[in-house]
Chains A and B, each alone.
Chain A
Amino acid sequence: MTETQYLAPHSLDEAVSALLAANGTGRILAGGTDLLVQMQAGIVKPGLIVNIKKIPEMTSIEETPDGGFRIGAAVAGAVVGEHERLGKAWPGVVEAINLIGSTQVQGRASAGGNLCNASPAADSVPALVAAGAVATIHGPNGRRTVPVEEVPAGPGRTNLAPGEILVSFTLPPRPPHSSDAYLRMIPRTEMDIAVVGCGVSLTLENGKCTAARVGLGAVAPTVLLVKDAADALIGSKLEDDALEAAAEACRAACRPIDDKRGTIAYRTKVAGVLLKRAAAIAADRAGRA
Chain B
Amino acid sequence: MTSESNVKWIGKNTIRPDGADKVTGRAAYAADATMPGMIWGKILRSPHPHARIRSIDTSKAEALPGVKAVMTSADFVEFPVDTPVPIGIQDMRWMSRNIMARDKVLFAGHPVAAVAATTEKIAEQALELIEVDYEVLPWVIDVEEAMKPDAPILHDHIRFEGKPSNIAGKLEHTLGDVEAGFAQADVVIERSFRTEPVHQGYIEPHACLVSVSDGKATVWSSSQGQFMVRGMCAHMTGLPQNDIRAIPAEIGGGFGGKTIVYLEPVALVLAMKSGRPVKMQMTREEVFRATGPTSGSVSKVKIGATKDGKIVAAEGTWWLQAGALPGAPIRGPVGCGFAPYDIPNVHTLGFDVVCNRSKVAAYRAPGSPIGAYAVECVMDEVAEALGIDPLELRLRNAAKEGTKAAYGPVFPRIGYEETVRAAMEHPHYRAPLGPNQGRGVASGYWFNAGGESSAQVNINEDGSVVVITGHPDIGGSRASTANITAELLGIDYRKVSVLIGDTSVIGFSNLTGGSRVTYASAMAVTESTREVINTLKARAAKIWGIDPEAVIWENGEARPAGENAGNFEPLTLAEIAAKANSTGGPIGAGKQLNAVGAEGGFGTHICDVEVDRELGIARVVRYTAFQDVGRAIHPAYVEGQIQGGAAQGIGWALNEEYIYDKNGKLDNASFLDYRMPVCSDLPMIEAVIIEVPNPKHPQGVRGVGEVPIVPPLAAVANAIYNALGIRFYSLPMSPPKILAALEQTERLAAE
Contacts and interface: CB of A to CB of B under 8 A. Distances in A.
Interface of A: 1, 41, 185, 187-193, 195, 260-263, 265-266, 269-270, 273
Contacts of A263: 736, 740
Contacts of B679: 190
Given A1-B125, A260-B659, A261-B673, A190 B678 contact: yes
Given A188-B675, A190-B678, A260-B668, 14 more contacts: A41-B285, A187-B735, A188-B655, A188-B677, A188-B678, A188-B681, A189-B619, A260-B659, A262-B736, A263-B740, A266-B616, A266-B740, A269-B743, A273-B614
B672 A191 contact: yes
A56 B135 CA distance: 57
Contacts of B615: 185, 270, 273
Interface string B100-132: 000000000000000000000100010000000
Contacts of A190: 678-681
Contacts, number: 58
Interface residues of B, number: 28
A189 B740 contact: no
14 contacts: A41-B285, A187-B654, A187-B735, A188-B677, A188-B681, A190-B680, A195-B735, A260-B667, A262-B735, A265-B736, A265-B740, A269-B739, A269-B743, A270-B739
B578 interface: no
B678 A191 contact: yes
Contacts of A269: 739, 743
Contacts of A273: 614-615
Nearest to B661: A260
Contacts of A193: 672-673
B655 A187 contact: yes
Contacts of B125: 1
B388 interface: no
A266 B735 contact: yes
B672 A187 contact: no
Nearest to B666: A260
Contact of A192 (B619, B672, B736, B739): B672
A229 to B, nearest CB: 17
B734 interface: yes
Interface string B480-510: 0000000000000000000000000000000
B122 to A, nearest CB: 9
A192 B735 CA distance: 13
Given A185-B615, A192-B672, A260-B659, A266 B680 contact: no
A193 B679 CA distance: 17
B658 to A, nearest CB: 10
B690 interface: no
Contacts of A270: 614-615, 739
A160 B681 CA distance: 38
Contacts of A266: 616, 735-736, 739-740
Interface string B651-693: 0001100010000000110011101011111000000000000
Closest 4 CB pairs of A and B: A266-B736, A189-B680, A273-B614, A260-B659
Contacts of B677: 188
B474 interface: no
A261 B743 CA distance: 19
B617 interface: yes
A41 to B, nearest CB: 8
B252 to A, nearest CB: 19
Contacts of A187: 617, 654-655, 675, 734-735
Most buried by A among B659, B672, B734: B672
B731 to A, nearest CB: 13
Nearest to A101: B672
Contacts of A192: 672, 675
B736 A189 contact: no
B289 to A, nearest CB: 13
A266 B743 CA distance: 10
A191 B675 CA distance: 9
Interface string B600-630: 0000000000000011110100000000000
A260 B739 CA distance: 16
A185 B678 contact: no
Nearest to A193: B672
Interface in B721-742: 734-736, 739-740
A66 to B, nearest CB: 39
A1 B678 CA distance: 39
A263 B741 CA distance: 14
B582 to A, nearest CB: 60
A137 to B, nearest CB: 30
A273 B742 CA distance: 14
A195 B615 CA distance: 11
Nearest to A274: B615
A105 to B, nearest CB: 11
Nearest to B660: A260
A269 B617 CA distance: 13
Given A260-B659, A269-B739, A189 B681 contact: yes
A130 B270 CA distance: 57
Contacts of A261: 673
A25 B291 CA distance: 35
B40 to A, nearest CB: 16
A260 B673 contact: yes
A170 to B, nearest CB: 32
Contacts of A185: 615, 617, 735
Nearest to A41: B285
A150 to B, nearest CB: 28
Contacts of A188: 655, 675, 677-678, 680-681
B195 to A, nearest CB: 17
Contacts of A41: 285
A251 to B, nearest CB: 13
A162 B675 CA distance: 37
A41 B677 CA distance: 24
A281 to B, nearest CB: 15
A124 to B, nearest CB: 18
A240 to B, nearest CB: 14
Contacts of B285: 41
A187 B659 CA distance: 15
